[in-house]
Amino acid sequence: MYEKNGEKYFVVDSHMHFWDASRENWVEGRENLAKGWIDCFYGYHTLAPPETHWTWEKYLKVTPEDLMRDVFEEGYVDKAIFQSTYLKYWYKDGFNTTERNASLLEQNPDKFIVNGRWDPRDGEAGLRQLEEDARRWNLKGVKLYTAEWHENGSRGWKLTDKESYRFLEKCRELGIKNIHAHKGPTIWPLNKDAFSMEDVDQTATDFPDLNFIIEHAGIPRIDDFAYMAVQEPNVYAGCSVVIGAHMHARPKSFAKFMGELLFWVGEDRMTFGSDYNIWTPKWQIEGFVDWQMPDDEAFSDYPRLTTATKKKILGLNAAKLYGIEVPEECRLPEAPSIPEQPGEQLADEATPAGAQA
């Protein structure tokens, strides 16, 4: 919990990792890819305030003690949700597998939620694995990478693929309600479709009982994301990277991103994620609570942030998605639910012919 000026913020870090990019884990003959990947991440790391930077060596792999301190003792997080990233093509045991994340869950069952993953290209075996994982870790969510390469030679897939729908139906059956899809900065994809968000649009309509949290809010293609999200009530903006990469390094861009997301998506459908170990949560939470839309004329038509807005984004929205109990003192008074999303009204009023970019 984070407390500032008498206000108490319940914090759910809904997108974080526990990776192993150490040299011992690099696949022989593919060291350049393993190093290239973590170098790329380290570039993002340096966008944080300098006093929070780690050395490249430390960045390769943190200890469980580091994580517990950074996230919970110093980082104010009440509940952290692990998202996995496999990348076994160049990391022997994977970069950040469900098993690796779950190793921390066993010692701290009340601190973590472990999300699973699936890949429709794994077919029947993948479905069985998903069932097994769901039982083992009581899965409530999964993280999906549609641009990921596969050993069968495929260089990506779509949520709307027939096989993908089988997995989504399985999620429904197993009570996995939260589908986190990575639609962010492009790494690897060879094809135009790899970053397209059209598949989310269709799938969110076909599975109205599932929630689709689009990590990194589709940035840099935030426009495609926003026009899709404005129409789909079960699509959420995952704010990992939005805060981490911009709040300190590019404050003006950050203000615009926040303004646009509040306008098109609304404060009830935005979720905080520190993206640890890319960045630590402490500076992001402290900075976000202190942050306000600049008074400058250029920002005058963006919504302002209230204390309630910040409470929702930092924890209450994700707590709702995952059924996490929020202490009385951190809740908001139950108000009649009027979604704050001005963009919906504007889009409804003026939907012009040919406006679908």
User: Which residues contribute to the site for other proteins (CB under 8 A)?
Assistant: 32-33, 36-37, 39-40, 43, 46-47, 153, 155, 185-193, 219-223, 226-227, 245-246, 249-250, 253, 256-257, 260, 263-264, 297, 343, 346-347, 349-357
Q: Which is nearer to other proteins, 140 or 216 (CB)?
A: 216
CA distance 7 to 88: 44
Q: How far is the CB of 164 from other proteins (least distance, A)?
A: 17
Cβ of residue 93: shortest distance to other proteins, in angstroms?
A: 21
242 CB contacts (<8 Å, ≥6 apart)? 216, 217, 219, 254, 257, 258, 261
Choice between 131 and 163, CB closer to other proteins = 163
* Helical ranges in 116-155 per DSSP H: 123-137
DSSP 8-state class, residue 331: P
CA–CA dist 114, 322 (Å, integer) = 11
- Tell me whether residue 268 or residue 344 sits nearer to other proteins (CB atom): 344
Length of the chain: 357
For 347, the 3-state DSSP assignment is helix
Shortest distance in whole angstroms from residue 9 CB to other proteins: 27
The CB-of-179 to other proteins minimum distance in angstroms stands at 23
Nearer to other proteins, 70 or 224 (CB): 224
Residue 5 or 351 having the CB closest to other proteins: 351
What token pair was written down for 63? 């200890």
Q: Which amino acid is at 178?
A: N
Shortest Å distance, C-beta 76 to other proteins: 27
Measured from the CB of residue 192, what is the shortest distance to other proteins in angstroms?
5
Say whether 198 sits in a helix, a strand or coil. helix
Q: How far apart are CA 126 and CA 150, in angstroms?
A: 13
Residue number with CB closer to other proteins (36 or 327): 36
Torsion, Cα of 59, 65, 66, 70 (10° steps): 150
Please say whether the beta carbons of 315 and 272 come within 8 A: yes
Q: What is d(CA 91, CA 216) in angstroms, rounded to the nearest whole number? A: 24
Whole-number Å distance between alpha carbons of 255 and 52: 22
In the complex, minimum distance from the CB of residue 322 to other proteins, in angstroms, rounded to a whole number: 29
Nearer to other proteins, 296 or 329 (CB): 296
